[in-house]
Amino acid sequence: MLQTQPRPSDEDWYSQAVCPETDPDAFFPEKGGSTADAKKVCRGCPVKDPCLQWALDNDERYGVWGGLSDRERRRLKRGAPSEWVGEPRRLPAIAASTVEWYEDQDARLAG
């Protein structure tokens, strides 16, 4: 298990992230463990969108980044139009998809 969260090199947004103040185990749970606590932290993070974009651009395969697990990021990439996938810094499109995903999850949980 990872003891510290990986630090993206030369990324300005990381210094504004909320996650360094949180237990890294929440972001990198054991297989089958809950990601709910990490996602709750991400929801209030001011750099959630650049974090998600970094994970997508760098094919990050572990942990919660930008409020999404690896599985959720893979689904997002598969469902994204081809001009988004592999095109770094297309954050507005990814951010819109993330907002839609959260809205769907909230509706499902309320439902």
Distance CA 49, CA 46 (A): 8
DSSP assignment of 24-89 equals HHHHSPPTT---HHHHHHHHT-TTHHHHHHHHHHTT--SS-BTTB-HHHHHHHHHHS-TTTTT-TT
Tell me the binding residues for [4Fe-4S] cluster. 19, 42, 45, 51
**Contacts with 49 (C-beta within 8 Å, 6 or more apart), sequence order:** 66, 91, 94, 95, 98
What is the per-residue pLDDT across 42-78, written as a single tens digit (0 to 9) for each?
998 999 999 999 899 888 989 999 999 998 999 888 8
Check: pTM over 0.85? Answer yes or no: no
Return the percentage of the chain with pLDDT > 90, whole number: 25
- Binding-site residue ranges: 19, 42, 45, 51
